[in-house]
């Protein structure tokens, strides 16, 4: 949910929950109060009401035995006054609408209202005067003069104001309390979901701006804050990748420059030497001249292939070459490989054989062209470092449950144990001074790059004078 909506919803929830809890609390309070106090409260009030009613009824009965004129006697009025006061009530004696005697002062409108609302027949009903409720009884005297004399007695009915006061305070108190608790909870949720993650994001942004890209940003917070942390983390990863790539570019550039100056300098110097020999007239005979030119040409070819290797390695290292993976029948592919290398192996008097130890047809996902480069580099090495008259190279195809294993085994001069862990490193050569076996020292490094680009593995086993086994494992399709 968006933050604005969430904010609104939380506020509405705060009010609604506060109201709901208050209503519930009030209901419980009223229920508890009435259960605990009602019996006593009701009986007390009833008793009092009954006393007042019977007192007033008695006075009324007595009064009706008297003449109206008797009511006007001061002595009687004093007695009446003290009797009604004892009941907490009031007495008003009227002739028509004129007040002749009253224990409670009422204005004309109240008198008019009281006379209108009360009548002789419906005794002890209630009427409201100035917001107070009174129980009434009246006695009317038809006078000879045609006028009416009236004795009106009013007894106030008092509600249990203490209870209502407590209830009011309780209601307001509970509402304020729940509102405050809800507000606190909402603030806590907001601070947990927004303010804390935002301050963490701020720290992360400061670190990123200072160049520290190793500090991961956890996906935290709510709504847009969570999205922001995710975006910032993606930005950090991208930035880290680009910095890493930039470093690798720089490294590669340095590596190319240094390797060109070291490894290419020797053949280029000898090319210059041979050409200079021809131009300076050192090669005096046509045979010598041809020999010089051939040597210079073969060195130039070597330089060219070294440059090719360098560029390929550099591109592979920077992941610049996409792989076009195709489902490939392993056996068919290696039959073609053997066929392709047959001629040069015949020329070198080395036997090349393919041995299949596969139960079924095995398929692998490979970039056929690029993988050829792997096999070519390994077969070239097997040929280059053979140094035996009975040369034999075998390609063995095997399989495990999930992998296809390709082994290229030769009976050549082998690799000393100390050199084995390094032969897949770039520019590593067991014997760099050797002139006969030319190479850039990149052949196996390139092979490793390509195999790993296929999510495969390449490793070596070798024993000096016995031979070398290069193994490759690829995931089966």
Interface residues with ligand ADP (CB under 6 A) are 377, 381-382, 385, 410, 412-415, 423, 428-431, 439-445, 468
What's the closest the beta carbon of residue 230 comes to ligand ADP, in angstroms?
44
State the nearest-atom distance from the C-beta of 425 to ligand ADP, in Å.
Answer: 8
Residue facing ligand ADP at closest CB distance: 439
Please report how close the Cβ of residue 418 comes to ligand ADP at its closest, in angstroms: 12
Structure tokens belonging to residue 419 = 């050199």
User: How far, in Å, CA of 233 to CA of 379, rounded?
Assistant: 46
Q: Residue 325, SS3?
A: coil
Q: Which is nearer to ligand ADP, 127 or 430 (CB)?
A: 430
Q: What 8-state DSSP symbol labels residue 422?
A: G
Cβ-based nearer residue to ligand ADP, 225 or 415? 415
Instruction: Name the residue nearer to ligand ADP (CB basis): 228 or 437.
Output: 437
How does DSSP assign 401-418, residue by residue?
SSEEEEEEEE-SS---GG
For ligand ADP, the closer of residues 391 and 456 by Cβ is 391
CA 37 vs CA 42, 163, 168, 173, 471: distances in Å = 8, 10, 18, 22, 95
Q: In whole angstroms, what is the distance from residue 351 CA to residue 216 CA?
A: 56
Q: At what angle do helices 196-209 and 223-263 cross, to 10 degrees?
A: 20
Cα–Cα distance measured from residue 459 to residue 126, given in angstroms and rounded to the nearest whole number: 109
Report in angstroms how near the CB of residue 294 gets to ligand ADP at its nearest: 22
Both structure tokens of 299: 């060195």
Question: Nearer Cβ to ligand ADP, position 160 or 438?
Answer: 438
Q: How far apart are CA 348 and CA 391, in angstroms?
A: 9
In whole angstroms, how close is the CB of 301 to ligand ADP at the nearest point? 14
Burial class (CB in 10 A: 0-12, 13-18, 19+), 167: middle
- The nearest distance, CB 384 to ligand ADP, in angstroms, is 6
Minimum CB distance to ligand ADP smaller for 138 or for 426: 426
**What SS3 class is residue 99?**
strand
CB of 432 to ligand ADP, least distance (A): 8
Nearer residue to ligand ADP within complex by CB, 197 or 267: 267
């Amino acid at each position: 949910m968006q933050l604005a909506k969430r904010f609104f919803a939380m506020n509405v929830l705060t009010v609604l929950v506060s109201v709901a809890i208050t209503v519930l609390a009030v209901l419980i309070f009223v229920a508890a109060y009435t259960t605990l106090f009602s019996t006593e409260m009701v009986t007390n009030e009833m008793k009092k009401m009954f006393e007042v009613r019977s007192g007033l009824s008695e006075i009324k009965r007595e009064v009706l035995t008297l003449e109206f004129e008797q009511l006007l006697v001061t002595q009687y009025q004093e007695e009446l006054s003290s009797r009604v006061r004892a009941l907490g009530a009031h007495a008003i004696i009227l002739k028509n609408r004129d007040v002749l005697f009253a224990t409670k002062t009422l204005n004309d409108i109240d008198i008019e209202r009281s006379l209108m609302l009360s009548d002789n027949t419906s005794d002890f009903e209630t009427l409201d005067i100035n917001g107070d409720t009174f129980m009434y009884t009246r006695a009317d005297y038809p006078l000879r003069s045609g006028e009416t004399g009236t004795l009106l007695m009013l007894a106030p009915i008092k509600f249990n104001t203490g209870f209502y006061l407590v209830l009011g305070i309780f209601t307001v108190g509970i509402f304020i309390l729940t509102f405050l608790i809800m507000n606190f909870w909402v603030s806590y949720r907001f601070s947990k979901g927004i303010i804390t993650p935002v301050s963490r994001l701020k720290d992360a942004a400061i670190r990123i701006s200072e160049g520290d890209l190793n500090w991961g940003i956890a996906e935290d917070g709510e709504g847009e804050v969570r999205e922001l942390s995710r975006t910032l983390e993606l930005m950090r990863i991208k930035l880290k990748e680009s910095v890493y790539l930039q470093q690798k570019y720089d490294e590669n550039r340095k590596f190319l420059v240094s390797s060109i100056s070291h490894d290419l300098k020797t053949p280029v110097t000898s090319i210059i030497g041979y050409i200079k020999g021809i131009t300076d007239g050192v090669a005096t005979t046509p045979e010598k001249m041809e020999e010089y030119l051939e040597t210079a040409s073969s060195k130039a070819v070597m330089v060219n292939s070294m440059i090719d290797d360098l560029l390929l390695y550099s591109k592979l290292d920077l992941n610049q070459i996409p792989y076009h993976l195709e489902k490939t029948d392993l056996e068919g592919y290696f039959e073609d490989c053997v066929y392709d290398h047959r001629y040069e192996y015949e020329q070198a008097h080395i036997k090349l054989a393919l041995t299949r130890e596969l139960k079924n047809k095995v398929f692998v996902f490979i970039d056929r062209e690029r993988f050829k480069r792997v096999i070519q580099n390994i077969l070239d090495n097997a040929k280059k470092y053979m140094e035996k008259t009975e040369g034999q190279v075998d390609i063995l195809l095997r399989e495990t449950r999930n992998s296809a294993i390709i082994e290229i085994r030769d009976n050549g001069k082998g690799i000393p144990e100390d050199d084995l862990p390094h032969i897949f490193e770039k520019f590593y050569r067991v014997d760099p001074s050797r002139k006969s076996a030319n190479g850039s020292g990149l052949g196996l490094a390139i092979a490793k790059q390509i195999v790993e680009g296929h999510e495969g593995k390449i490793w070596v086993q070798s024993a000096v004078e016995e031979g070398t086994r290069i193994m490759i494992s690829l995931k089966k399709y």
